[in-house]
């Protein structure tokens, strides 16, 4: 039996590998999957079949991934929502333990933006205005419990201001449209490419990025961090690849080796930078450690900001 299993593993993969994207086509996670697909044949010996399964704050796709056979033929794009969703209430699977981290792919810088005709040149000016006009500023993000919502709540709590959080189920393109239409005054985004052309044309001003250091992404190098502006927030959200728990060691080794080459490919890195994302490769051990660390941090944040209670009230 052992010899047979070894022979099967040596041949893996013998057919295309499905990669589940728990978000709609066109978003950052979808872009990552499509960019990886271009070099899959070269580095894995098979193509990737992209299946978009949006809905439920990414839980629809993550449920499909967690429930799939752990044979190496179903993997999925995962984001920080793997950690966040179980903190908001009962989910079909406890994703951090039902899924197996393979590689971290990119870091997603979360930033706050406004229209250039607004009176605020930086976050400090937003805070001053919000304290004088409590509840007047509407702050758009891509949905309850998402990384952009979490950042918005952290911003309000850390600075002691009252701003109205406005979730958009259609994600960042919808919140951007609302900003451009004057329906909200601020937006929080985690995909710089959504804002790039508007920044270039001088329509939108980026007020701050919630990173430890300034970005190296073209067009965004001059954006100050929250910390530079006296706001103690720095949290890095991410996108990576995971598989159902129980992946055989040989298949896991083959997968992670191929994915390492794909993620570190110069063409892939260049492609991601053009889309406004920074490649930040982590192997399975380091990525697993990241899940554990983020679980501790986010559990604390979700409790302190009251996001969990807010989401629970929405479900009633």
How confident is the model over 181-198, as pLDDT tens digits? 999 999 999 888 888 889
Q: In what order do the strands lie in the sheet with 74-79?
A: 48-52, 17-21, 74-79, 237-244, 99-108, 278-282
Alpha carbons 71 and 73: distance in angstroms, whole number: 6
Who wins on pLDDT, 118 or 237? 118
Give pTM, 2 decimals.
0.84
SS3 282: strand
Q: Say how far apart CA 258 and CA 261 lie, in whole Å.
A: 5
Three-state SS annotation for 197-237: HHHHHCCEEEEEECCCCCCCCCCCCCCCECHHHCCCCCCCE
Is the predicted pLDDT of residue 107 greater than 60, yes or no?
A: yes
Q: Tell me, what DSSP letter sits at residue 279?
A: E
> What is the tens place of the pLDDT at every residue in 50-96?
999 988 878 999 999 999 999 999 999 999 999 999 999 889 999 99
The reported pLDDT for the residue numbered 186 is 97
């Amino acid at each position: 039996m052992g010899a047979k299993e070894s022979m099967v593993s040596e041949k893996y993969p013998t057919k295309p590998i499905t990669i589940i994207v728990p978000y709609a086509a066109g978003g950052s996670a979808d872009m990552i999957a499509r960019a990886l697909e271009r070099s899959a044949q070269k580095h894995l010996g098979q193509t990737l079949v992209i299946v978009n399964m949006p809905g439920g704050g990414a839980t629809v796709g993550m449920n499909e991934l967690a429930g799939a056979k752990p044979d190496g033929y179903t993997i999925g794009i995962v984001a920080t929502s793997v950690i966040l969703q179980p903190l908001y209430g009962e989910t079909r699977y406890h994703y951090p333990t039902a899924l197996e981290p393979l590689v971290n792919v990119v870091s997603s810088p979360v930033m706050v933006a406004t229209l250039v005709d607004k009176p605020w040149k930086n976050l400090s000016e937003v805070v001053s205005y919000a304290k004088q006009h409590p509840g007047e500023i509407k702050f758009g993000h891509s949905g309850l419990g998402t990384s952009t919502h979490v950042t918005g709540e952290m911003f309000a709590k850390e600075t002691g201001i009252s701003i109205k959080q406005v979730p958009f189920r259609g994600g960042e393109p919808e919140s951007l449209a609302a900003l451009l239409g004057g329906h909200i005054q601020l937006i929080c985004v985690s995909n710089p490419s959504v804002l790039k052309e508007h920044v270039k044309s001088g329509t939108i001003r980026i007020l701050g990025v919630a990173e430890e250091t300034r970005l190296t992404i073209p067009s965004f190098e001059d954006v100050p961090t929250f910390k530079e502006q006296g706001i103690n927030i720095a949290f890095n959200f991410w996108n990576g690849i995971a598989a159902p728990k129980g992946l055989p060691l040989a298949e896991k080794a083959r997968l992670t080796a191929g994915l390492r080459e794909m993620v570190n490919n110069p063409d892939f890195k260049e492609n991601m930078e053009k889309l406004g994302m920074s490649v930040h490769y982590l192997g399975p051990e380091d990525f697993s450690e990241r899940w554990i660390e983020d679980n501790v941090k986010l559990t604390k944040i979700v409790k302190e900001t009251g996001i969990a209670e807010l989401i629970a009230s929405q479900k009633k």
